[in-house]
Amino acid sequence: MKSKFIYLLVFVLLVITAAEFIGFQAITIGTIKIGLLPLVFAILITMILGIPVFRKGILKNIYSRENVLFSSKYLIFIMLPLMARYGADVAPHLQEILKLGWIFLFQELGNLGTVVLGLPVALFLGLRREAIGSTLGLGREGELAYITEKYTLDSAEGRGVLSLYIIGTLFGAIFFSILAPILLDLGFRVEALAIASGMGSASMMTASSSSLVARMPDMQSTILAYASASQLLTSFLGTFTMVFLAVPLQRFMYRLFVRGEK
Beta bridge partners of 26: 35
Nearest alpha-carbon partner for 28 in 190, 211, 205, 185: 185
**Cα gap 64→26, rounded to integer Å:** 34
**Calculated CA dihedral for residues 260, 115, 151, 204, nearest 10 degrees:** 160
Residue 234 clears pLDDT 90, i.e. is over it: no
Distances (CA, A) of 221 to 82, 86, 211, 247: 15, 10, 13, 35
pLDDT at 18: 93
Distances (CA, A) of 222 to 48, 227, 228: 35, 8, 10
Q: What is the average pLDDT across 87-113?
A: 69
pLDDT at 17: 94
Residue 76 clears pLDDT 90, i.e. is over it: no
The answer to whether the CB of 27 falls within 8 A of the CB of 33 is yes
> Nearest-5° angle of CA 235, CA 236, CA 239?
80
Q: CB-hemisphere CA count at 13 Å for 118?
A: 22
0.75 surpassed by pTM = no
SS in 3 state form for the chain? CHHHHHHHHHHHHHHHHHHHHHCCEEEEECCEEEEECHHHHHHHHHHHHCCCCCCCCHHHHHCCHHHHHHHHHHHHHHHHHHHHHHHHHHHHHHHHHHHCHHHHHHHHHHHHHHHHHHHHHHHHCCCCHHHHHHCCCCCCHHHHHHHHHHHCCCCHHHHHHHHHHHHHHHHHHHHHHHHHHHHHHCCCCHHHHHHHHCCCCHHHHHHHHHHHHHHCHHHHHHHHHHHHHHHHHHHHHHHHHHHHHHHHHHHHHHHHHCCCCC
Cα–chain center distance at 190: 19
Residue 69 clears pLDDT 70, i.e. is over it: yes
Hey, where are the domains in the chain?
2-257
For 9-31, how does the pLDDT look when each residue is reduced to its tens digit (9 = 90+)?
899 999 999 999 998 777 776 65
For 189-203, how does the pLDDT look when each residue is reduced to its tens digit (9 = 90+)?
998 899 888 887 777
**Cα gap 261→201, rounded to integer Å:** 32
For 122-158, how does the pLDDT look when each residue is reduced to its tens digit (9 = 90+)?
999 988 899 998 998 887 767 877 887 788 877 888 8
Residue 100 clears pLDDT 70, i.e. is over it: no
Residue 44 clears pLDDT 60, i.e. is over it: yes
Greatest mean pLDDT among 19-28, 60-69, 114-123, 231-240: 114-123
Largest CA distance in the chain: 57
